[in-house]
Structure 1
Amino acid sequence: MRTVTRQATEWLAAASTDPRACKRQWHGETGIAVLACGRFWDVLSVPEELGVLALDSLLCTPQTPGPALADTVARRIGFFLPPDPDGRWIGSDVRYLGRDAWITVPAPHRAMGRLRWLVPPDGAGTLFVPAAVELALQQALLTLAGQAGARERCPVCGTPAAAGALLRPADSRT
């Protein structure tokens, strides 16, 4: 196992209540483990169409990206962010997983069933910068709203395209 993959496995497993059991689960039949949010990271989960556009934008910046996980069945993208005790992101169909929430993940070097790492953990604990994710999501919403102009409704939330609000943390100053 490469050093980066080993470090990523150790970092990710550390969020488990039992890191050894977590690693056994990754090598077991299901290949997944359930990890706690709120200690090392929180996860912002958004609809796939929005998340893919935002991730494309984030990968074009000079900042090192944090982990991003796709759930291909639920059609959602999860961005791993620094823990935020308030976690007040607003937007239609946005889910913020912080303290007392759990997330199912495959090992950093694998894809299992419906779960795929779009950006695997790097082992150093790198996470997405919330302000950069906010900006990328706003840009993605504007792109989707522009595409929805012919349909007259936002494809993410269903509101009239001209009236759709931008996604942002609740305490954001824009």
Structure 2
Amino acid sequence: MWTRGVEWLAASAADPRGCKWEWDHGEGIALLEAGRFWDVLSVPDRLGLLTLDLLWGPALPVPGPTLVDTAAERVGFFLPPDPAGGWVGAGLRYASRGAWVAVPPPYRPARYLEWLVPPDGTGALHAPGALEDALRQANGTLAVLAPLYGR
């Protein structure tokens, strides 16, 4: 089941075999370059988890690959490459061509990294428009809740 996701993700590595070896026998994390097959939009974890929840609507397609970094308290959404890198905003980090992303294998967590939605191997990614809409909605919800939680 995970084979297609492993092959798809490892294909973005300079050395796909070395990448898979690192996942199975090394530290369990590979550094992969963004910008060729995918970019990553990283957001604070509260915003990212609420956004992902909104993207799981019953009439919506399954969300694209999504990674959580519990040490950095961030959620990363894998998107189609965007040469313009048009994602800006407070707390947003955008990894595109020339940026490297630490990635565990799709079949298990590694240290502080874990797939919330692992890649399925089809190349499906988050749709930028749907992700932007969900981020706006989640951000609005968090803004309303912030006074209740002292943030």
* TM-score bucket of the superposed structures, by smaller chain: over 0.9
Counterpart CA distance in 2 for 1:30 and 1:151 is: 38
Specify the alignment match of 1:59 in structure 2: 56
Counterpart CA distance in 2 for 1:59 and 1:143 is: 16
Counterpart CA distance in 2 for 1:87 and 1:56 is: 24
Specify the alignment match of 1:42 in structure 2: 39
**Which protein shows a greater Rg?**
1
Counterpart CA distance in 1 for 2:78 and 2:148 is: 33
**May I ask how many residue pairs the two structures share in their alignment?**
150
Specify the alignment match of 2:109 in structure 1: 111
**Structure 1, unaligned stretches of length 5 or more?**
156-174
Counterpart CA distance in 2 for 1:137 and 1:10 is: 29
Helix, strand or coil: the match of 2:82?
coil
Letter in 1 for 2:122: A
Greater relative contact order, per chain length (Cα 8 Å cut-off, separation 6+): 2
Specify the alignment match of 2:121 in structure 1: 123
- TM-superposed deviation, 1:151: 6.6
Q: Percent identity?
A: 53
Normalising by the residue count of structure 2, what TM-score does the alignment of the two structures yield?
A: 0.95
CA contact (8 A) 1:38 1:98 kept: yes
Normalising by the residue count of structure 1, what TM-score does the alignment of the two structures yield?
A: 0.83
Helix, strand or coil: the match of 1:66?
coil
CA contact (8 A) 1:64 1:126 kept: no
Q: Out of 15, 18, 23, which is 2:20 matched to?
A: 23
Letter in 1 for 2:146: A
Letter in 1 for 2:135: L
Could you list the per-position Cα deviations for residues 42-96 of structure 1 after superposition, in whole angstroms to 9, with x for gaps in the alignment? 0000000100000000011522311000000000000000000011211111000
Report the aligned-residue RMSD. Answer: 1.3
Counterpart CA distance in 2 for 1:30 and 1:117 is: 16
Letter in 2 for 1:68: T
Counterpart CA distance in 2 for 1:148 and 1:34 is: 35
Helix, strand or coil: the match of 1:89?
coil
Could you list the per-position Cα deviations for residues 96-131 of structure 1 after superposition, in whole angstroms to 9, with x for gaps in the alignment? 000001101111101011000000001101000000
- TM-superposed deviation, 1:29: 3.3
**Structure 2, unaligned stretches of length 5 or more?**
none
Q: Does 1:74 align with 2:72?
A: yes
Counterpart CA distance in 2 for 1:147 and 1:114 is: 27
Specify the alignment match of 2:89 in structure 1: 91
